[in-house]
Structure 1
């Protein structure tokens, strides 16, 4: 199995949205993905991109991704916020997730960010166990606030 980690390109957006839908299905929220391909492409590859990503190509097909943006902490400064991180279910356990996560950590360090932040659902034991291998702090004190418009 050949795993190649690279920066996402505009041509990957359609596949990324398929993987985002797979993630939403896994997280029991399949109806929540409402972003259009056009908006998604413009947000990542337009004149002022607001997100970036790495993809895991396995035998020439994008089978995983890690999408991030810059978040600002008034306490720490610029941080990398890992919005989505997924390897397709059928290909988990082959090392692609570790390669992607390691690449995101490298990106955060290369860009001089002070920390990396993400969320994980409390019932997602496989993901929690994965993050624990990195000695990540999983903070149960904060409650997410969301206001949809």
Structure 2
């Protein structure tokens, strides 16, 4: 992905230009792109993004529990990467999610709040809600912060 395409993709997914350096080389990531995730707010302490329910439903017609986890980990890992800065990156080491309500159509909003922003670990809570503000699921995500190897993106 060239620099212009990289920047365009990040902007299309709601990442502010001043944070583009947090995403060296890989853009928003293939899974977030495929899931239709769009950031509306992004900082180490709070990140918000939306995701359409379709086509990520399970055979019963409701949003797949794994899709909730994809949104949660995308939000928490991205917020952790913003906290880490461009010289480091976040690696998810733990996620747990409790599903409170199903949703079969519309848009899910994930709101990620930092519980701990340390030098080597971050912990975020992510609450997914429907368009009416009803809680769909709650996740907690822990990320390990690692140094980038020189010359890698």
TM-score (norm 1): 0.36
TM-score (norm 2): 0.35
- Higher RCO (CA 8 Å, separation ≥ 6 residues): 2
